[in-house]
Structure 1
Amino acid sequence: MKVLLHSRRLPFALMAALVCAIIVSSSTTSCAAFVANCPQLVFYSTISRHHPLSMAQDSNSNDNNDDNNSKDTSNENNKDNKRITKRNDTVTISTSWLVSKARLEHHHTQQLLRRPPLKLPYTTSQKWIQHNFSIKTKEEFEQLVMDGDIKNVYISKRPEEYYGRRGEWISWEHYLLGSVVEDGEGGVNRRNGTESLLKWQ
């Protein structure tokens, strides 16, 4: 019996069952006397708490708890990382869209600046000048431009230069006093030289 009690290879439950069987079988010996005669049992119960197997089980349970906690923490970190990634993707898309928009606006502005100004055709501009102003010379036209009286943005302030590039310019006399032909329902109206025969309605 002492050999069995001293043995550390037996499980603690088996040792407890063996002790209980011994206590029940010994009717003449009291429990106190049995414990007094077998101090190794108390020593074994103390040792069994620090047995490598029980310590390994405790460490395994602690490791499992740590693993579960680490898994939960890693899952939360992964979720947070995914959220941060989505936010970063959204910020990147918004930023790239704004950059593309600014680039297109700048390109459009540069095209407008490089584009030659769009003015009325020569004949239409000639009609408008002769209808709104009674001027006969280039100097009078330039004075109107300096005074800001020609407020129509589609009338060239430098008609000789503008229509000259287009191959439509004839002369100042023709532009200010020359003939104006208008085809319409009322037939053909003409204005020749300094005679004002065309009435604009």
Structure 2
Amino acid sequence: MENDNLDKLWGSQGNDISTYTAKDIITKAKKQRNSQYISITVMSVTVVVLLVYAFYFAFSQWNTFNLGLLLMISSLTFRIVLEFYTVYRKEKQLISMAQKPYYAYLKRFYKIRLLINYVITPVCIAVYIIGFYLLLPYFKEYFSKGFYTYIIISGVISLLGVIAIIIYGTIKEHRFLKQLNKG
């Protein structure tokens, strides 16, 4: 993205629509995009670990363990694809639109992000939890009691950490949408 080109394009329209400058919007967009890339990276690493484990150990015969892994991998993969789609769609719009239409686009974009965060993400988390739950009987059978307890505790703490990060990101996006609606 070229700041100078966007400044010139948006500056030619006047600033009667908002108090945000082109640099303000670009800075917020980059910050939000970077947080999405971090989310994508964390989810991708988790998917890779699950896939390696699944192909190395699990898929020799079909059972509820494999179903659990499949649910976990599917929910994360869906979220990764969704995040990539929103990142690149927003960036494409930023480059191709003038300030006023892009400002309106941002409002729509963040309303859609709220739908993703309040509907799709909880469904993905629920599917992931179901998948994890399906793995637990196998973990209990094949691992020691101490390691099984570790898996449960670390799994719950990791999941709560991810949920906290998602909630924090959702709150930030919600605040930005409120700012856009005021502007």
Per the shorter chain, which TM-score range?
A: under 0.3
Higher relative contact order (CA 8 A, sep 6+): 2
Greater share of helix residues, 1 or 2? 2
Instruction: Specify the structure having the higher radius of gyration (Cα).
Output: 1
The normalised TM-score by structure 2 is: 0.27
The normalised TM-score by structure 1 is: 0.25
